[in-house]
Amino acid sequence: MRHITILFTTLLLTIMGCQKPVQNEVTFYGEEFKSEEPVASKELIHSITSDEVQSIQVTGEITGVCQKKGCWLKLPIENDQELFVKFKDYAFFVPMDAEGKEATINGTLKKETIDVATLRHYAEDAGDSPEQIALITEPEVKYTFMASGVSITD
């Protein structure tokens, strides 16, 4: 019996030693792209040089996704703000369960004023309650991103 235990233990340790480390799988949505030193979303404001449209790559943890189609996502930026990411030409969507996963987005960034009707529409898509939606009464200046491609790490 002792020999069987030693054999089993040796076999188990050999199998464990031969396993490759688990690598995170990256899935692309939209256009595939090469990651070229993306800016961390929480440091994004410091890298913006003007209010003009800028081509950029941004990376961060997804904090929200459209719960109707996956047609937008949010990444955190400093001061409890969020970067609102839409997809170029409405050509692709991301999984609605992508919240909490790491994403790199490739596209253009701009600062814009979002009207009340659009803010309410986005809140509805996010699943906010009618009471929360009714509290939206003023337009907001936000950083928005038009992504041509998104990679999400599982």
Q: Please name which of 58, 86, 83 lies closest in space to residue 72, comparing C-alpha atoms.
A: 86
pLDDT tens string 57-80: 999 999 999 999 999 999 999 878
Confidence (pTM): 0.75
Rounded CA-CA distance 136/132 in Å is 7
**Where do the structural domains in the chain lie, given as residue ranges?**
24-153
Task: Report d(CA 76, CA 11) in Å as an integer.
Answer: 47
Q: Distance (Å, rounded) from C-alpha 70 to C-alpha 101?
A: 14
- 122 versus 50: the higher-pLDDT residue is 122
Beta bridge partners of 29: 150
Q: For 6-61, what is each residue's pLDDT tens digit?
A: 544 554 444 444 444 456 799 999 999 998 889 888 888 777 766 777 888 999 99
**What is the CATH architecture assignment of 24-153?**
Beta Barrel (2.40)
